[in-house]
Amino acid sequence: MLKVWLQVPLRTYQEALEAQLRAWGLEPVSHPLQAQVGLVEAGREIPAPPPVPSVLLLRDKEQAVQALRKGYRGYLYPEQGLEALAKALEAVARGEVWAERKAVAALVGEPFPHLTPREKEVAALAALGLSNEEIATELGISVKTVKAHLSLVFQKLGVKKRSELAYMRFLP
C-alpha cells in the first residue's frame, strides 16, 4: 500500500483528500519520513519540498518550471481532477516525473540554466556547505562579491535559504 503524506493548509481539505486516498487504497501518513510520496499544495509561493519525492498542487501554471527546479517530482493543476492526482502520486512514487513536456524541456541540460558560470561556481560551493568566507578564498574573490552572487542566484532560482539550494542541487 502506497503511503502518502499531505501538506495542505485547510484541515477540511486535508480530511477530504485523506478520505479519497483511502478510497483508492492509498494510506495517508502523519509524517513525511513515514511516506513514500508527498502531496503539497502551493500558495502564492512554492514551499521547499519535503524530504520525500512529492507532487505539488499548483494554482498558477507559471509556477510549473520553478516547482521542478525546487525539487518537486511532479505537479498538477486543479482542473486536472482526482484521477490525474492518483496517477501522479503513483508515478512519482515509482521514481517517475509527472510534468508537462514543455516544463521538462525548460530544465533539460544543465542544472542551473539561467546562471552565469561564476554564479554556478558560487552556488555549487554554497550548496556544499561552504561559508561565504570559504567560497571567497576558494575562488579568489571578496566576501562582498560572494554575497552579491548568492543574492542573484537566490533571486534567479526562487530560493530563500542555502538549504533549499543544496536540496535543489544535490538530492534526487
For residue 148, the domain's CATH number is: 1.10.10.10
| 3-class secondary structure per residue, 82-103 | HHHHHHHHHHHHCCCCECCHHH
Q: Quick check: is 156 in a domain?
A: yes
Q: Quick check: is 17 in a domain?
A: yes
In the chain, the number of structural domains is 2
Cα distance between residue 120 and residue 43, in whole Å: 28
Q: Which domain holds residue 145?
A: 117-170
Q: 100 and 121 in one domain? A: no
Mean pLDDT score of the chain: 86
Q: 153 and 84 in one domain? A: no
Q: How buried is residue 69: exposed, middle or buried, by Cβ count under 10 Å (0-12/13-18/19+)?
A: buried
Cα distance between residue 130 and residue 133, in whole Å: 8
Average pLDDT for 44-69: 89
Q: Kind and range of the H or E element at 55?
A: strand 54-57
Q: Quick check: is 112 in a domain?
A: no
Q: Which pairs from 59-64 meet CB under 8 Å and 24+ separation?
A: 64/99, 64/100, 64/103
The answer on pLDDT for 111 being more than 70 is no
The answer on pLDDT for 51 being more than 90 is no
Task: Determine what percent of the chain is predicted with pLDDT higher than 90.
Answer: 45
Report pTM: 0.62
Q: Quick check: is 21 in a domain?
A: yes
The answer on pLDDT for 169 being more than 80 is no
CA-based nearest residue to 69, from 30, 115, 34, 31: 115
Q: What is the CATH number of the domain that holds 64?
A: 3.40.50.2300
For the stretch 138-159, pLDDT in tens is 899 999 999 999 999 888 887 8
The strand pair at 27-29 and 3-7 is best described as parallel
Task: Determine what percent of the chain is predicted with pLDDT higher than 70.
Answer: 91
Q: Quick check: is 44 in a domain?
A: yes
Cα distance between residue 16 and residue 3, in whole Å: 16
The radius of gyration of the chain from alpha carbons, rounded to an integer in Å, stands at 18
Mention every residue, 6+ apart, whose C-beta is less than 8 A from residue 80: none
Q: Quick check: is 77 in a domain?
A: yes
The answer on pLDDT for 27 being more than 60 is yes
Cα distance between residue 67 and residue 57, in whole Å: 10
